């Protein structure tokens, strides 16, 4: 058994995970990062003790934590995590002190999710895969031959922050034209709102009014209802999404690209539309093409992946 | 000793290479691919025999060939190489039949050059590096932990064919807006010609007239002479070049990016200008930054790298 911890800005989710990647027990608490790192770390330790004890004692070999921000794996340190207020926090050593005898490892949350999907989720049949999570931003991670690709400095896999529109829309990272600024849910919502301003007769107005807001679903729903402006937004969005996928494939040629996050909830028609675009753009080889698949673990990807991080030797 | 073969559309260059990567003997011939693959292969074998015999017999452990086009490493096959007219040519087995007892391995020429620079050239001090060759197109290869990153299907490392300008200039590959269409020497020459059309008073006209053509040097020379239009072309070109480098670094975080090809002949000021732009755009880590360095082996990179391909076990 190992424990996986998915540490987020809002919630801490902890799970006891078996060798096959099944979550056997769960515990959860609010993060409330404004209390400071010591209180958050104490709560993580308490949640770990809870899943070890509740339902009968079990032997736990390791704890893995997926955390936002930049990390130093060797030191188990969260170098910077702005939404948690962590700055050079030795999270691993602090938890090892609180959980004597159990090694604790720290990983970036997007990388942990990529590991989860690679071993247990949508990419489980592929030795190399890239997870692309379409949410507020674009998260993701690269798994090659079963190992996370972390780069020489631990910071690789920032797939959302590669430029697809030179001199384009400002990105949260300070650059312009990043894939994230166009193909995240946030990017889709911005494109939807812009199209609504330009098309006062579009069905997108009624759809968003009924939902109470413009969301990543507005344009997709309008397109399904036959709205031309909605369809144009969707088509353009899919083009942006495919551009970044094609870039990653032409550079890395993984066996699979796995798409998750809210937008991927559009399901099969969305997947087929993405596949068609990708197929037209990538460098193909007679020795195999990259499969585009949907993520399957949802919010559990990070927790399950974190449990793997704890378990694995060097990965 | 091993033999490296750099097979190009114009020339075949063969070298006898020692364990340290020094080229001890050389032989060369015109490729003349219109003669057909059998004649080309016979010439490669004859050149290999020449470097094994001329100057006294030596024991050769392996032959590695860097070839344009797509390859199948396991079969030693050139799948497609349009400029050579090769289609599913079993180049490795054909040469092994001609050179009894010597194993022959086949690699893509851009990947071979990346190996050469990684082990013996500008990136020799770094365990992971990406070679970016700025020529007619953008060639390159990715070396991670001393091994070529080839992807699950052997086709990875097409770094020139990733989109940096969505819906941009048509690329030779069929896509639009590829890095190669903007940051290759060909892209620079196009941008130079466009700027000259818009600036009839620019010094670029006299410079290109004196040289007999618009080249990748025209704008750089004009910029050095204080020409505003020339400087604008150079600045913009450097921005395009940096955009792709930043993309590769944010995705892969190699220890080094190594820039070669004609444009890199602009030397230190060019290198410093690229470094400044890259530094501003990449995700930085306290655990180290990617170094941007110049390639050092010139036309020998492919030959030396090919000799390594032959030597290495799985790489």
Whether residue B250 and residue A161 make contact (CB cut-off 8 A), yes or no, is yes
Whether residue B149 and residue A254 make contact (CB cut-off 8 A), yes or no, is no
Whether residue A283 and residue B173 make contact (CB cut-off 8 A), yes or no, is yes
Taking the C-alpha atoms of residue B245 and residue A284, their distance in angstroms, rounded to an integer, is 23
Whole-model pTM? 0.95
Pair of tokens at residue B202: 């620019």
Q: Give the per-residue pLDDT at B285.
A: 86
Taking the C-alpha atoms of residue B309 and residue B288, their distance in angstroms, rounded to an integer, is 29
User: Are the CB atoms for A157 and A248 separated by under 8 Å?
Assistant: no
Phi, psi of B299 (to 5 degrees): -70, -15
Whether residue A153 and residue B287 make contact (CB cut-off 8 A), yes or no, is yes
Whether residue A152 and residue B254 make contact (CB cut-off 8 A), yes or no, is yes
Minimal-distance CA residue of chain B relative to A248: B162
For residues A68-94, one letter each, b for 16 or more C-beta atoms within 10 angstroms of the residue's C-beta and e for the rest, the string is: bbbbbbeebbbbbbeebebeebbbbeb
User: Which residues of chain A make contact with B168, given a CB cutoff of 8 A?
Assistant: 166
User: Are the CB atoms for B167 and B177 separated by under 8 Å?
Assistant: yes
Interface predicted TM-score (ipTM) of this complex, two decimals: 0.94
Taking the C-alpha atoms of residue A261 and residue A217, their distance in angstroms, rounded to an integer, is 12
Whether residue B248 and residue A251 make contact (CB cut-off 8 A), yes or no, is yes
Whether residue B142 and residue A166 make contact (CB cut-off 8 A), yes or no, is no
Whether residue B162 and residue A285 make contact (CB cut-off 8 A), yes or no, is no
Q: Across the strands, what pairs with A66?
A: A6, A107
Minimal-distance CA residue of chain B relative to A141: B251
Long-range contacts (CB closer than 8 Å, 24 or more residues apart) made by B175-181: B175/A246, B175/A281, B177/A166, B179/B138, B179/B240, B179/B243, B179/B244, B179/B247, B180/B137, B180/B138
Taking the C-alpha atoms of residue B273 and residue B49, their distance in angstroms, rounded to an integer, is 46
First-to-last alpha carbon distance for chain A, in angstroms, is: 18
Query: Which residue do the tokens 């596949």 mark?
Result: A275
B171–chain A nearest CA distance, Å:
12
Q: Nearest by CB to B162, from A79, A173, A250: name it.
A: A250
DSSP state for residue B124 in the 8-state scheme? T
Q: Nearest by CB to B254, from A151, A253, A288: name it.
A: A151
- Looking only at the bridges linking them, the beta strands covering A147-148 and A256-260 are unpaired
B140–chain A nearest CA distance, Å:
10
Q: Give the per-residue pLDDT at A315.
A: 36
User: Which residues of chain A make contact with B158, given a CB cutoff of 8 A?
Assistant: 250-251, 283
User: Are the CB atoms for B260 and B270 separated by under 8 Å?
Assistant: no
Whether residue B243 and residue A72 make contact (CB cut-off 8 A), yes or no, is no
Query: Which residue do the tokens 């990153």 mark?
Result: B149
Whether residue A251 and residue B281 make contact (CB cut-off 8 A), yes or no, is no
A32–chain B nearest CA distance, Å:
27
Mutate to test the interface with B, among A153, A165, A256, A278 (most CBs of B within 10 A): A153
Taking the C-alpha atoms of residue B277 and residue A225, their distance in angstroms, rounded to an integer, is 46
User: Are the CB atoms for A240 and A179 separated by under 8 Å?
Assistant: yes
Q: Give the per-residue pLDDT at A283.
A: 87
Which of the residues in chain A have pLDDT under 50? 313-315
Mutate to test the interface with B, among A127, A151, A157 (most CBs of B within 10 A): A151
A23–chain B nearest CA distance, Å:
31
User: In Å, what is the CA distance from B216 to each residue of A90, B27, B189?
Assistant: 51, 30, 5
Minimal-distance CA residue of chain A relative to B237: A166
- Looking only at the bridges linking them, the beta strands covering B147-148 and B138-144 are antiparallel
User: In Å, what is the CA distance from B144 to each residue of A71, A301, A304, B195, B253?
Assistant: 21, 27, 27, 39, 10
Mutate to test the interface with A, among B90, B129, B153, B277 (most CBs of A within 10 A): B153
Whether residue A246 and residue B290 make contact (CB cut-off 8 A), yes or no, is no
Mutate to test the interface with A, among B118, B242, B250 (most CBs of A within 10 A): B250
Q: Nearest by CB to B158, from A127, A165, A251: name it.
A: A251
Whether residue A284 and residue B155 make contact (CB cut-off 8 A), yes or no, is yes
User: Which residues of chain B make contact with A254, given a CB cutoff of 8 A?
Assistant: 151-152
The secondary structure of chain A, three-state, reads CEEEEEECCCEEEEEEECCCCCEEEEEEEECCHHHCHHHHHHHHHHHHHHHHHCCCCCCCCCEEEEECCEEECCCCEEEEEHHHCEEEECHHHHHHHHCCCCCEEEEEHHHHHHHHHHHHCCCCCCCCEEEEEECCCEEEEEEECCEECCCCCCCCCCCCCCECECCCCECCCCCECEHHHHHCHHHHHHHHHHHHHHCCCCHHHHHHHHHCCCCCCHHHHHHHCCCHHHHHHHHHHHHHHHHHHHHHHHHHCCCEEEEECHHHHHCHHHHHHHHHHHHHHCCCCCCCCCEEEECCCCCHHHHHHHHHHHHCCCC
Minimal-distance CA residue of chain B relative to A277: B175
Whether residue B155 and residue A251 make contact (CB cut-off 8 A), yes or no, is no
Which of the residues in chain B have pLDDT under 70? 312-315
Q: Give the per-residue pLDDT at A312.
A: 57
**Helical (H) or strand (E) element with B14:** strand B11-17
Residue A190 CB neighbours (<10 A): 15
């Amino acid at each position: 058994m190992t424990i996986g911890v998915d540490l987020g800005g809002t919630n801490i989710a902890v799970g006891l995970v078996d060798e096959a990647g099944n979550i056997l027990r769960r515990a959860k608490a609010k993060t409330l990062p404004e209390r400071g790192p010591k209180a958050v770390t104490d709560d993580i330790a308490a949640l770990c003790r809870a899943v070890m004890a509740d339902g009968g004692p079990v032997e736990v070999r390791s704890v893995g934590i997926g955390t936002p921000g930049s990390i130093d794996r060797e030191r188990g340190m969260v170098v910077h995590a702005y939404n948690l207020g962590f700055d050079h926090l030795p999270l691993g050593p602090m938890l090892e002190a609180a959980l004597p005898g159990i090694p604790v490892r720290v990983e970036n949350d997007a990388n942990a999710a990529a590991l989860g999907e690679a071993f247990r989720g949508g990419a489980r049949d592929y030795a190399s895969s890239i997870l692309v999570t379409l949410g507020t931003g674009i998260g993701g991670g690269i798994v090659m031959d079963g190992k996370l690709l972390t780069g020489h400095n631990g910071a690789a896999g920032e797939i959302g922050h590669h430029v697809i529109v030179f001199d384009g829309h400002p990105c949260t990272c300070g650059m312009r034209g990043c894939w994230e600024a166009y193909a995240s849910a946030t990017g889709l919502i911005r494109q939807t709102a812009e199209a609504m301003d330009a098309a006062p007769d579009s069905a997108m107005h009624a759809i968003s009014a009924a939902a109470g807001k413009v969301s990543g679903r507005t344009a997709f729903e309008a397109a399904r209802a036959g709205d031309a402006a909605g369809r144009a937004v969707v088509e353009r969005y899919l083009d942006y999404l495919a551009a970044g996928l094609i870039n990653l494939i032409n550079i890395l040629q993984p066996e699979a690209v796995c798409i998750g996050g809210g937008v991927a909830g559009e399901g099969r028609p969305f997947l087929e539309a993405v596949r068609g675009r990708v197929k037209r753009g990538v460098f193909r080889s007679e020795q195999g093409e990259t499969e585009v698949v949907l993520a399957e673990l949802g919010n559990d990807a990070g927790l399950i992946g974190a449990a793997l991080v704890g378990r694995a030797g060097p990965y």
